[in-house]
Amino acid sequence: MAHVKPRFPDWLPGLSLIILGLLIFLPAIWDWPLIRAEGMYALIPKEMLASGNWLTPTLNGTRYLDKPPLFYWVNLMSYHLFGVSDRVARLPTLLISLGEVWFTYLIGRRLLETRAAWLGGVVLLTSIGFFTLHLQLLTDHLVTLALLAAICVLVYAEDQPSWPWSVLFMVPLAAGFMSKGFIGLAFPLLILAGFAWFRRQPHLLTLALDPRGWLVFLVLTLPWFVAIEQAHPGFLRHHIVNEQILRFLGRREPPDINPFPLLGFWLFLFIWLLPWGLLLPQALYRFWRKTAWPDHARRGRLLLLWAGIIMGFFSLSSSRIEYYSLPVLPPLALVVGWSLDQSLEVSRDRGIPLALLCLGVLGLALMVLLPYLEQICAANRREFFGMFPLLQPVARQVSFIVPILALGGVIFGWRRPKVALPFYGLLALFLLFFTWKSLLALSPLFSDKIPGEYIRHQAGPHDLVVMEAIEEFEYGASLAFYSGHPILMVQRQGLPQFSYPVPPRENYLITPAGLRERWQGPARVFLLVDDVTPLEPFLEKDSMALKLPGKRLLCNRP
């Protein structure tokens, strides 16, 4: 009898990806504070838990009607089980991240092969964008997870899309819809329709046409929308017209979003995929050719269709932000993983060593490139001003270590891809470490944890906390979360501004004259001011409680 080589079970590589994800993310989230861009996703469930009102999200005590509530509910349950803290707020996002990697592996195993799927999972986990963005609380993660689950159902139900598969397909669509509205519904449906047309298999459309699936969708989504409209008449018009349609057209009111230019949006897709993004052009070319024939290989082009629909959608939108390309990372990671798998079969494939050589050059040029990157980021968000000096120490380390690792990979792996690939993977892990160090260095700019905790220990129950001149009222949530105080915000040049009517008792926006009145009044006032904001004359002689990179905390009565 011939000897049969033992075979690992298919779930074992997927489990190894989950373990790798835990090893990467658990240490990283331990000391990473809530930043301004994400603080609202921690503060809203904190307020919902305190009030016992799970229906209406509130932000700094004011109803917040811009987004559906699923992500808030998920974080609220985490608080309910483990208590309220920034680390507990990050636990659901950690689980979502691992779920994204697991579904990416399952899809890759179905469309490609096990080793290619595993390599794609590694590429996803060790890409700078996946790591950086999943250190933040974003509804986009839940939308991406829901999209991955829907596509996983699609590829497993391709042969026999019966009504149970339709129900399973519509459940993640409901989750995506309850996370961020219509894109959670539109992306899976567009990808399904495109795949059915490309494969010439119209029977696949039954996944989205079976009434039993839509019944489940309506049961999971309709009750909250009906209840919130009854509690707050006008919500549906605000949510559908202003937050969905007008946002896409760039005509949302108030116009508080500075959209990324189209070139910058595509550039950030390359940055998010680093260091593997350098392999993407070759991987796409190879993948396009290899999936042309036979028929079973053409199924793999679902990955290209997936990425193309999402990037095309946001390229047409007038309200794009750099992280909106997040749902594109899984399919492109699988394409790169497939290409790496192919390279390991070719003894003299030079793609990986050449990419390492480019990484070494980029490492040497980092100190020159950083100021330009700051300009791109600061044009979209003010808190990026001043990031270059904070990043210089880390950038010097990168410009030394990365070229050495890259050169070692080129020398030892020039003719042996199996040697060059471990160098590439090690370099990817080092870049994640330096990315984490960079984020920690920038955290005083991005987060209000330090002034918030100072206020929490120093302020009394009747003291006032004020933020000076921020563009979006959501950006005050980090300070409110850590200080434990409701905050007031100074409105200048019409911003920040609510996009729906707010009762006077919930309105926490004050005029510059209102700030002066409170500052000179009997109450003690803590005022957080960014360095880019010039101080009013009546503030210049008052005491400074704290001086931090990019901001100052002032107090009228130290």
3-state secondary structure 223-276: HHHHHHHHHCCCHHHHHHHHHHHHHHHCCCCCCCCCCCCHHHHHHHHHHHCCCH
> 444-471: per-residue pLDDT in tens?
888 999 999 999 999 999 999 999 878 8
Average pLDDT, the chain: 89
Q: Is the pLDDT of residue 398 over 70?
A: yes
Instruction: Tell me how far CA of residue 105 lies from CA of 16, 119, 167, 424, in angstroms.
Output: 11, 9, 22, 20
> 186-228: per-residue pLDDT in tens?
999 999 999 999 888 888 999 999 999 999 999 999 999 999 9
Alpha-carbon torsion (184, 190, 195, 200), positive or negative? positive
| CB-CB neighbours of 87 under 10 Å | 15
Range 524-551 average pLDDT: 85
Q: Which of 469, 465, 470 is nearest to 486 (CA)?
A: 465
Q: For 71-75, 276-280, 358-362, which range has the lowest pLDDT when averaged over its residues?
A: 358-362
> 246-301: per-residue pLDDT in tens?
787 777 777 656 677 888 889 889 989 999 999 999 999 999 988 877 666 688 89
> 239-249: per-residue pLDDT in tens?
888 888 878 77
DSSP 104-138: HHHHHHHHS-HHHHHHHHHHHHTSHHHHHHTTS--
- Which has more confidence, 392 or 388? 392
Q: H-type helices in 350-468, by residue range?
A: 351-378, 387-413, 417-446, 449-458
